[in-house]
Amino acid sequence: MRCKGEWLLVFLVLHSWATHLHVAEGATKLPLNGLVLHYYKKHTNCTYAEEFIKHLVQKAWEFDKSITPALVRLAYTDCFVRGCDASILLDGKNSEKDAPQNSGLRGFDVIDRIKRVLEARCPGTVSCADIIQLAAKDAVALAGAPKYPVFTGRRDGVQSTVESVDLPSPSISWDQALAYFQSRGLDVLDLGTLLGAHTMGVTHCHYIHDRIHNFNHTGKPDPSMARSLGQRLRRKCQPKCYDTHQDPTVFLNPISGKNYTFENSYYKRVLRKLGVLGIDQQLTSSEDGRRIAVQFANNFEDFRRYFAFTMSRMGSIGVLTGNQGEIRGHCRYTNANNPKF
């Protein structure tokens, strides 16, 4: 557990990192698990790949702002299973898409559209794994997050199985969530920061049904949840069975709501016992988690700064580079299974 002085040191380091980030962004090569900045501009003939992606994401965002949380979730889902290798994009029987944890996952059409454009201009060059990370970065920037640089040069994996998906339940305990993050090389500050992505988006009622109707089989709501929130959620999520055709959604952060804006109001709500998912409210169950919530609730720039850093850390999990993997011609198929090859 970090003491007060250690937390001050953490945020001084964050400030230093963010200050020097602008210098690093202009550099030619900064390795990170084999990834570099501006890989396509410096090392391929697809010099405008990042500009193409940015333009297409902006068009998608202007049409539907909910694409921001969709692409962030896609990036998280990809990186935490097998590493950031675009395995989540592969179609096929018993692929990662079929896992119950990935129900409602969206953004595949945007990735497909970007890949088609890039393949037409510079075939076999830009990986689907890089497209996911770059698209998520551009989408959150449009919503209000910092315009952080993404290290690139990832290659695509060739395997995707439902059995490999071990994404935790949103009702997981804080200690279990932290252990899961640590198993991926991340820490408590990364966990507390990435939970802040829940400042945008929605969740389906079946994910919170037990929390609002029958917490721990008590027949009562979760006592860590404010009564006003429980009443509002129970009106939307009636005690019944849900299926893919009838499973209402609720905003994770009503303040952001339909605008899908990136802001620190998530942390302010959690401190008032207004976290929608169980893991959201679990943030305040530990001293470290509560310190993170208080710091980010009181300082939006600290949240923005560390969110950029954490997304970069997450984006380096288990990457394939060099001669590993492949560059898919279509993001939904390995090259060996591509019907057009």
Q: Specify whether the CB–CB gap between 274 and 226 falls below 8 A.
A: yes
85 in a known ligand binding site:
yes
51 in a known ligand binding site:
no
CA angle 303–309–314, rounded 5-degree value: 115
The residue type of 328 is R
222 in a known ligand binding site:
no
81 in a known ligand binding site:
yes
83 in a known ligand binding site:
yes
H/E run at residue 266: helix 265-271
Residue among 2, 73, 106, 290 flagged as catalytic: 73
Distance CA(53)–CA(136), nearest Å, equals 10
68 in a known ligand binding site:
no
Q: Give the closest residue to 161 by CA, choosing from 93, 108, 101.
A: 93
Distance CA(32)–CA(280), nearest Å, equals 30
36 in a known ligand binding site:
no
198 in a known ligand binding site:
yes
Residue 145 CA to its chain's centroid (Å) = 13
Distance CA(257)–CA(251), nearest Å, equals 6
End-to-end CA distance of the chain: give it in Å, rounded: 54
Q: Give the closest residue to 83 by CA, choosing from 309, 313, 279.
A: 313
Residue 332 bears catalytic tag: no
Q: Which residues are annotated as a binding site for heme b?
A: 198
Q: Which residues are annotated as a binding site?
A: 78, 81, 83, 85, 87, 96, 168, 198-199
Indicate which residues carry an active-site annotation: 73
Q: Which residues are annotated as a binding site for Ca(2+)?
A: 78, 81, 83, 85, 87, 96, 199
Q: Which residues are annotated as a binding site for substrate?
A: 168
